[in-house]
Amino acid sequence: MEYPKNHRKIVDELMNGKFILPIEQHYEVLKENEEFYADFFKVSFNYDLKFTQHYAYLVSDESAEMLSRDMCIFFALLSYELDRDGKNFLERIQYTEFELDEIENYFANSSYIDLILSNKQLKDTDARKNFINTLNRRNIVEKIGDNRILFTSAHKFFMDFAADIVKFENVNE
Amino acid sequence: MKAEPRTVLRFLLEYFDIIKDLFDTQTKDNIITYEVMNEITSKHKMDVKIQLLEYKIISNVAENYQFRPVFASLIEFILSEFKPMLPETIEKYHVSIGELFRKIRENINGDKVILNQRITELSNEINNFYESVEKNTLALLNETRELKANVKKVDYREKIIRASRWIDEYIIPLNKILDLNHSTSLTTKLYEVSEYTNRYRLNFDDESTRIQFEKLYFSLIQVNDNLLRQSKILTNELLPLIERIRTESIILTGWINFLKAPHKKKVPKILESKRNYIYSKDTFFNAAEFFDAFKNDVDVFIEDEEYEDEKWIFDKQLYKDKLKDNLPVTDFFKWCNKTLKEDYKKVEIEKFFALTSLAFDDDLQLEYPVKAEFDKIKINDLTLTVPKITINNHGIS
């Protein structure tokens, strides 16, 4: 049987919890073979392939819940602090680079300081640096040099989650 | 009593500050209450209530007041402060324009005076329609930009409600009115009128009617162009801007809600990245896969290396005996070199060192000169500086 091009890369990255992005060559391969890969992951591992115009990734019940929660807290705090600072948070996260110092400043001076201090991955500068490396490994941020980052289109995954909170609340109300 | 026009205009100019305050109140509350009227006139220390009524700028509504529509429109226009109109209000032009157009077509050969009057009124209705659209677009743009800047600190939930209302109740219906691809839209109707007018402006027996058609035709060209521009503003600028406000507000409301109890909310599923532990059940298969990758199916033959020279083994006893036979040896190192040269064509340094190790034999007695003397010995390319050692006897003397 002949497998699609970049098969191993696609499988490796998705199985490692990485987001595959439209700017990457193997996203196109995945797009062209979406049905095959959806079946492949379902039959082989019982994982669901989620494919959108902004990212592709795998969903399973073996979820890294702690990490996902920390990521949500990170995005929630950053969005909140940017908005409080009078910035269009969505445009900033979507289109512009961040200096790590800027993010550091938002977290260090946040009114959610109790929540930050109680979180192992976000509690101090070193922890936050490591956390950003984790985001980088998952393809959620792109590192530009040592001191700058750019959020990839995978950030929409978390923004959609935030929007769903409001939608589901309205449904339940 | 009818006021003199210049007096009315002069009054508007002179008391414009009060008029503007009253107009703002009406825009906000839809009415100017008796109390507010008194409050505003007292603030400006000018009681102009009587003139406002006399010049028919405002009218009484029970005990309260309201601007007459013509003055409301004038002030609104001067200030460029329009309030968005519901598209239903604009949609009424569909009926009036459609009806006038139908009557023109049906009675094209009828009374010329009435025909000309209908053409003029059709032209007015079309201009009124365009003005309503322009005012509405402008009003919606102003409101949207203000909401984006959020000077009034509107909370996120209210922003979502407002943005959704504007999209659903104003922008999308207005876009439908302007949609050229929609056969029943007003803009499509105007193109139909335009084609008809074009035909009769060139081909009609009565000259005055031809001129009326001509005027209407050129007015329609302008209006259609302007409507297209308004439609572009709506779809390219206003709609994305307001959609963005709505999306941002929804997301931020969601995050604020999440941050209230971040450990109680369900979070999205993120795949756990796998680490391979040595005791994992997959280790055997991973290792098998690894070895498979390096498995070489081609037969490999390894040939034994052939050594040209056999390895030399130092026969200590043989050389010890040779040394004993030659005793006394006045220069031990020279003797070693000479002996090896007699036995072998080529003397390697290893052989030389092996032979010199006899000097450490306990059976041999070494003698050194009082003053240290050195000799040079050449072995192949190597020149060694060695001390002069004499061996006279063997065994413990």
Kindly report the length of chain A. Answer: 173
Are B124 and B130 spatial neighbours (Cβ–Cβ below 8 Å)?
no
> What pLDDT, on the 0 to 100 scale, is given for residue B397?
33
CA–CA separation, A53 and A31 (whole Å): 9
Considering only A152-166, B132-146, B196-210, which range has the smallest mean pLDDT?
B132-146
User: Are the Cβ atoms of A62 and B272 closer than 8 angstroms?
Assistant: yes
Nearest to B272 among A64, A88, A112 (CB): A64
Q: What does the mean pLDDT of chain A come to?
A: 89
User: Are the Cβ atoms of B271 and A17 closer than 8 angstroms?
Assistant: yes
Average pLDDT, stretch B83-103?
88
> What pLDDT, on the 0 to 100 scale, is given for residue B274?
62
Residue A159, min C-alpha distance to chain B (Å): 6
User: Are the Cβ atoms of A162 and B248 closer than 8 angstroms?
Assistant: no
**Which positions in chain A have a beta carbon within 8 angstroms of at least one beta carbon in chain B?**
14-17, 47, 57-65, 67-69, 71-73, 75-77, 79-80, 83, 88-90, 112, 115, 137-138, 157-159, 161-167, 169
Closest C-alpha to B84, from B132, B40, B46:
B132
- Whether the predicted model's global pTM rises above the 0.80 cut: no
CA–CA separation, B13 and B250 (whole Å): 46
User: Are the Cβ atoms of B252 and A162 closer than 8 angstroms?
Assistant: yes
User: Are the Cβ atoms of A71 and B256 closer than 8 angstroms?
Assistant: no
Sorting pLDDT into bands at 50, 70 and 90, what band is B141?
Answer: confident
CA–CA separation, A35 and B121 (whole Å): 62
User: Are the Cβ atoms of A163 and B256 closer than 8 angstroms?
Assistant: no
Dihedral of alpha carbons B166, B170, B173, B177, sign: negative
Neighbouring residues of B47: CB distance < 8 A, sequence distance ≥ 6:
B41
User: Are the Cβ atoms of B254 and A161 closer than 8 angstroms?
Assistant: yes
Note the pLDDT tens digit of each residue in A30-58: 999 999 999 999 998 889 999 999 999 99
Considering only A55-59, B49-53, B299-303, which range has the smallest mean pLDDT?
B299-303
| Cis before B84 (ω within 30) | no
**Residues from chain A contacting residue B248 (CB–CB below 8 Å):** 83, 88-90
CB pairs < 8 Å spanning A and B: 110
Note the pLDDT tens digit of each residue in A7-19: 988 998 898 889 9
The CA–CA distances, whole Å, from B300 to B246, B296, B303 equal 71, 9, 10
Residue B273 touches partner A, C-beta closer than 8 Å: yes
User: Are the Cβ atoms of B273 and A47 closer than 8 angstroms?
Assistant: no
Residue B237, min C-alpha distance to chain A (Å): 16
